[in-house]
Each structure stands twice: as structure tokens, then as C-alpha cells.
Chains A and B, each alone.
Chain A
Amino acid sequence: MTKIDAVFLWLDERLGIKTIAEVAQKKEVPLHRHSVWYYFGGMTLFLFSVQVATGILLLLYYRPSADTAFESVQFIITEVQFGWLIRSVHSWSANLLILTLFIHMFSVYFLSAYRSPREITWVSGALLLFICIGFGFSGYLLPWNKLAFFATKVGTEIAGVVPLVGRPMLRFLRGGDEVTGATLTRFFGFHVAVLPAIATVLIGVHVLLVQMHGMSVPPSI
């Protein structure tokens, strides 16, 4: 027995990693004319991890308050080395993520992959769609420029016209009656703490269920 085997055995006795290794070793992959549509879930997950990495990097320099947010973004793209790259990757990857997410959702829908026993996978995915839109909406305000300000003003106004709950919801989102610095810190909190926490749990459930059930085979195959 080599040293590596001994270490593996020691860890396996304590963590049961052999089971995980076995699951990872044997994977049924879809091999039929619809295979290409199965790529998009993984692409969305990849783009999500890009968002996490570049988002953490941007946090090193971003300052979430009304009088510093705009300047700190300008600082990132003009002064920080490769700041323009990190910020652009975050912004582009966000857009592409929404695109791949929608392609993933429609392919699951049209290939009827939501069928029993995968309903909860579908529902957790649908929730993740809303979370990602929330990421996009809250992140859009953070550069704190004119476009961001008015987009948020209009966006929260739309929430405000919902009957009964609209007005309280608008005040909750804006942190007051108007879009101000209070809205900015609030959206920043959603964007970097609340939504990531929920998304992590949902992605965990979603991916675990995919591993449990394996790939769905479309009824037409």
C-alpha cells in the first residue's frame, strides 16, 4: 500500500469519501440527438461561479454609500490594475448567465424533463430563476450612475403598483419613499449577502437532486 492509498483510507474511514468517488466515477451522460441542450445547466453553474469570484474581487474596492459608490466604480475601472477586466467580466457574465439560464429552462420544459420524480428539481430551478433576476436587479443599482438610478426608480415603481401589497413593498425595497443612499446600501446587502445565501442553498439542492435522479431521457427517445 502506497502512502497516498494510506491517506485515502484514513480519510475514507472518517469521511466516507469512497461513496462520493464512486458516484463521481460512473456518470450516465445523455447520448442522443438532444444532447446539446443538456450543456446549458452546467454553463449556468460555471457562469455563476465566475460571478462569485469576480464579485468577491470587486468587493475589495467597491464602497456602498451614496457619495462613494460612483467614484469607487470609476476608481476600479481606471486605477486598479485589470479592474476594467474584472468589472467587465462580472457584467458580461451576468448577462450571459441570464441567457444560459433561460435556454436551460426552456430546454428542460420542451424535453419534458420536469416529469416525476423531478418536480422539486424543476421548482428549485424556477426559484433560482427569480433569485438570479433579483441579483440582476439589485446589482444594476450598484454603479450608482444615472442609468442605474432611474432603472431602479422605475423598477421599484412597478413593484409599487401591485394592488394592496405594492406600497409597502416599494417602501421596503427603497428603504423609504424615494430612491436614495438608503436604497443603495439595502440593494448592496441583498446583492452580496441575502441572495448569495439563498442561491447557495438552492443550487446545492438543485445539483444534488440532479445527481440523485440522473439525466432525464426525453419521452421521444
Chain B
Amino acid sequence: MGDSAHRREDNPGAPQRPSPSRRRFLDYLLGTSTVATLGAIVYPIFKFMVPPEVVEAQQNSVVAAKNAEVANNTGKIFKFGSKPGIVIRTETGEVKAFSASCTHLDCIVQYDPAKKSIICACHNGVYDLTGKNVSGPPPRPLEEFTVNVKGDDITVTRA
């Protein structure tokens, strides 16, 4: 576009060229409509690629295990919604439940009958039977859940 305008300037016999302001106006129109068109294509594509937030109905209560499944001095991992939980029966027969996600890096913790504590095998984190972090890298205690034993079912409820 710029080239042809220059050539016409060199040649006085050429037909009257459009005034620069009109040319600038037309360039502006062309430019903005090109940008708008590209935007109308690119914007939906980028929006499409952003994964939508999935609203997951939070589960507040779940039957974690049957009474017979958890003997004294053992633990069992259960599914609490989409996250893991652990239910433990201590040596004295007390039933407790915690979130099984280690507060360090989300590994799944397990009950260690020899140490009588909850351990995380990934980085040697140790929690006591109240969920308190006692040694290793975990920065916070495990979240404790409320336990109800009704008949044969051990029901765990988010506090």
C-alpha cells in the first residue's frame, strides 16, 4: 500500500489520490475489524481451553467400614468423597478416623501397628493417635472426623 502511494507522488499526471486522512481512516477501519475478527475467534478458543470448575457435592457422612473389618491395633483406608480417609481401632478398642492425606505432600498415610502411630511412608512422617504431627516433615495435624459405631457400621462424619 505504501509503495503505490509513493509512486503516484513521483508522477504528477497520476489521478488524484485519496487524501491522507481518508486513507488513514480506511486503514484504521480495516485494522480494527481485522483485530476484532481475530479476537472473536481467539477469545472463545482460549476460554474453551480453561477447564470449568466442577462443583462436587461435598459428602458429609460415609460408612467407612464394617465393624468386623477393623480389628484392634489396625487401620483401614476408606473413600470419603474423592479423598482418602483412615479409620483406626486402637489397642484399647477405641475407634478413630482421620483424613488420610498427609499434610506434607498429600501421600496416603497408614497405620503402623508396631509403632502404634500413623505414618506416612513417602517421607517418614509420623502422627500420633490424636492425629498430631510428632516427627518428620508434616507441618500440620491430620484432620479428625467424628466416628459413630451403629450396629455393624462404622460411620464417619465431617466435623
Interface residues of A (CB under 8 A from B): 53, 57, 60, 79-83, 85-86
Interface residues of B (CB under 8 A from A): 44-45, 47-52, 54
Excluding A60-B48, A81-B50, 4 further A-B contacts by CB distance (< 8 Å) are: A82-B45, A82-B47, A83-B48, A86-B45
What chain B residues lie within 8 Å of A80 (beta carbons)?
Answer: 48, 51-52
Bound Cα distance from A57 to B54, whole angstroms? 19
Q: How many A-B residue pairs have CB under 8 A?
A: 26
Bound Cα distance from A85 to B51, whole angstroms? 15
Bound Cα distance from A80 to B49, whole angstroms? 8
Interface contact B52-A81, CB-CB below 8 Å: yes
What chain B residues lie within 8 Å of A79 (beta carbons)?
Answer: 52, 54
Interface contact A85-B52, CB-CB below 8 Å: no
Bound Cα distance from A86 to B49, whole angstroms? 11
Q: In the complex, what residue of chain B is closest to A58 when comparing beta carbons?
A: B48
Bound Cα distance from A60 to B49, whole angstroms? 8
Interface contact A82-B52, CB-CB below 8 Å: no
Q: In the complex, what residue of chain A is closest to B55 when comparing beta carbons?
A: A79
Q: In the complex, what residue of chain A is closest to B45 when comparing beta carbons?
A: A57
Q: In the complex, what residue of chain B is closest to A75 when comparing beta carbons?
A: B52
What chain A residues lie within 8 Å of B52 (beta carbons)?
Answer: 79-81
Q: Which of B48, B50, B51, B54 contacts A86 (CB 8 A)?
A: B48
Shortest 7 CB-CB contacts between residues of A and residues of B: A82-B44, A81-B47, A79-B52, A82-B48, A82-B47, A86-B48, A80-B52
Kindly provide the distance from the CB of A176 to the nearest chain B CB, expressed in whole angstroms. Answer: 34
Bound Cα distance from A80 to B53, whole angstroms? 9
What chain B residues lie within 8 Å of A85 (beta carbons)?
Answer: 44, 48
Kindly provide the distance from the CB of A91 to the nearest chain B CB, expressed in whole angstroms. Answer: 15
Kindly provide the distance from the CB of B72 to the nearest chain A CB, expressed in whole angstroms. Answer: 41
What chain A residues lie within 8 Å of B51 (beta carbons)?
Answer: 80
Interface centre among A57, A79, A82 (most CB of B within 10 A): A82
Q: In the complex, what residue of chain A is closest to B50 when comparing beta carbons?
A: A81
Q: In the complex, what residue of chain B is closest to A85 when comparing beta carbons?
A: B44
Kindly provide the distance from the CB of B47 to the nearest chain A CB, expressed in whole angstroms. Answer: 4
What chain B residues lie within 8 Å of A53 (beta carbons)?
Answer: 45
Q: In the complex, what residue of chain A is closest to B41 when comparing beta carbons?
A: A53
- A sample of 19 inter-chain contacts (CB < 8 A) reads A53-B45, A57-B48, A57-B49, A60-B48, A79-B52, A79-B54, A80-B51, A81-B44, A81-B47, A81-B48, A81-B50, A81-B52, A82-B44, A82-B45, A82-B47, A83-B48, A86-B44, A86-B45, A86-B48
What chain A residues lie within 8 Å of B50 (beta carbons)?
Answer: 81
What chain B residues lie within 8 Å of A57 (beta carbons)?
Answer: 45, 48-49
